[in-house]
Structure 1
Amino acid sequence: MTGVDREFLALERELAVFLRRARASSGEMAREIHPDLEPAAYGLLVRLEETGEQRATALAVYFGVGKATMSRQLRALETLGLITRRPDPDDGRASLVALTDEGLARFSAVRNARRESYVKKLEGWDSAEIAELARLLHRLNSLQGGTDD
Structure 2
Amino acid sequence: MHEGGTTDGAGPDGRSGVDQEFLALERELAVFLRRARASSGEMAREVHPELEPAAYGLLVRLDEAGAQRATELAGYFGVGKATMSRQLRALEELGLVTREPDPADGRASLVRLTEEGTARFRHVRDARRDRYRNKLAGWDRHEVAELARLLHQLNARAES
Q: What's the TM-score, normalizing by structure 2?
A: 0.89
Correspondence for 2:140 among 126, 135, 140 = 126
Correspondence for 2:23 among 9, 16, 19 = 9
Structure scoring higher RCO (CA < 8 A, sep ≥ 6) equals 1
Matching residue's letter, 2:125: R
1:97-116 aligned at under 5 Å gives the runs: 97-116=111-130
Partner of 1:18: 32
**What is the count of residue pairs matched by the alignment?**
146
Matching residue's letter, 1:122: L
Correspondence for 2:80 among 32, 43, 66 = 66
Which 4+ stretches in 1 moved above 4 angstroms?
Answer: none
CA distance in structure 1 between the aligned counterparts of 2:108 and 2:25, rounded to whole angstroms: 41
RMSD between aligned residues? 0.7
Correspondence for 1:139 among 117, 132, 153 = 153
SS at match of 1:40: helix
Correspondence for 2:57 among 15, 25, 43 = 43
Q: What's the TM-score, normalizing by structure 1?
A: 0.96
1:80-99 aligned at under 5 Å gives the runs: 80-99=94-113
CA deviations 1:20-42 (Å, max 9, x no partner) are 00000000000000010000000
SS at match of 1:54: coil
